[in-house]
Amino acid sequence: MISLGLGEHRRAALGAGRRVRLLIVDDSSSMRNLLTRVLHEESWIEVVGTASDGEDALRRVAELRPDVITLDVEMPHLNGLEALRRIRKSWPSIVVIMLSSLTETGAAATIDALMNGANDYVSKTPPPGCTDAPQARLRRELVTRIRQFFSAPEPVRVAVSPLPPAVISAAPRSKGKRRVVAIGVSTGGPTALNDVIPVLPANLTLPVLVVQHMPAMFTRILAERLDSASRLSVCEGADGMPVEAGHVYIAPGGFHMTVRSRGGRECIALDESAPEHSCRPAVDPMLRSVNAVYGKSAIGVILTGMGQDGLLGCQLLKKTGACIIAQDERSSVVWGMPGAVARAGIADAVLDIKSVVPEILKQL
């Protein structure tokens, strides 16, 4: 098994001829066979075994020492969430990708798993409007999620602008009153948000806007979980909802969430315009609206996630004079989004996830 330390799940290097060892855990024999077939097509992935429930998975992990586990959420004897807890206790470095159904129960269990250390998830069932063949969709989504943790011999070619080296500096003195916190996050987001939102004080004097890359239903359950753990009111944003201090607004899956000023008050606006960075909600639309409404009085925060969503929005905010905070590489599950901001030299602070809230409060 590839050895990974804390925060090193991001891009473990594969040596020459080395393949990612993967264990499939699912109580459905047809799903195990389907996953084996679609992943067998990737030359850099080796399916080393399968397991039919959580107890079987624990035995197979000890025997096979995989690099990655695809873990079914709902299983008999020992469900996916409990199996995840035991795997994390004994093998903390293994990448775990949850497989769930687009049901209330499946979404809730997946959110709980992500908050308890799962690295990512894939839905077994296609989202509304998806016309891809089931096999093609599963292959694309699983391979994309596995790739983000490894330097594979067949890397994804993404055209990106070259970025300057990372600049890490202390945040500047606040220039005027801060009026909003805007957070963008993706892979590893539920855990990161659980380290941020519940720590914010009850007397917070500004609102918090959050875009987490997730589908509908998942974002609602995420908001409910964070609300139950927080001193602030956390909810999904709704079109026309007033933006108030002491409230946290999570962008609902399937909609871009922006903020507008109407009659001297700020309110949420939702739309179903084209995805950006293949995502809806996306971070950049929110940050563009925050820049237009709040300008230099905003605090932009980019947490763990794959890709570069949020970079362009942060560049706009930085030019206006806003404060930009990025999560550091060590504490990120995937240092894509915050890494892009850091390497662009526009972050006022690049911080461990536990230091993000103290920095926000310092800005106030």
Q: In this structure, what CATH number is given to the domain that contains residue 244?
A: 3.40.50.180
Q: Is residue 171 part of a domain?
A: no
At 112, give phi and psi (nearest 5°): -60, -40
pTM of the model: 0.85
Residues 253 and 318 in one domain: yes
- Residue 166 pLDDT greater than 50, yes or no: no
**Average pLDDT for residues 289-305, to the nearest whole number?**
97
- Asked which of 131, 151, 171 is the last residue of a domain, the reply is 151
Q: Which of 309, 328, 331, 332 is catalytic?
A: 309
Q: How many domains does the chain have?
A: 2
Q: Which of 9, 213, 247, 256 is catalytic?
A: 213
Residues 352 and 297 in one domain: yes
Q: How many CB atoms lie within 10 A of CB 102?
A: 17
- Residue 213 annotated as catalytic: yes
Among 38, 227, 219, 46, which residue's Cα sits nearest to residue 138? Answer: 38
Cβ contact 167:255 at 8 Å:
no
Q: Is residue 170 part of a domain?
A: no
Q: Is residue 166 part of a domain?
A: no
Residue range(s) defining the domain that contains residue 348: 180-363
Residue range 61-115, pLDDT digits in tens: 999 999 999 999 888 888 899 999 999 999 999 999 999 877 788 889 999 999 9
Q: Is residue 160 part of a domain?
A: no
Residues 224 and 117 in one domain: no
- Residue 309 annotated as catalytic: yes
Residue range 187-242, pLDDT digits in tens: 999 999 999 999 999 999 999 999 999 998 999 999 999 999 999 999 999 999 99
Largest CA distance in the chain: 64
The pLDDT score that the predictor gives to residue 3 is 41
Residues 184 and 317 in one domain: yes
Q: Is residue 233 part of a domain?
A: yes
- Asked which of 105, 131, 151 is the last residue of a domain, the reply is 151
**Average pLDDT for residues 280-293, to the nearest whole number?**
98
Whole-angstrom distance, CA of residue 18 vs CA of residue 34: 24
Q: Is residue 257 part of a domain?
A: yes
The pLDDT score that the predictor gives to residue 128 is 62
Q: Is residue 159 part of a domain?
A: no
Q: Which of 52, 100, 123, 186 is catalytic?
A: 186
The pLDDT score that the predictor gives to residue 11 is 54
The pLDDT score that the predictor gives to residue 170 is 42
Residues 186 and 294 in one domain: yes
Q: Is residue 321 part of a domain?
A: yes
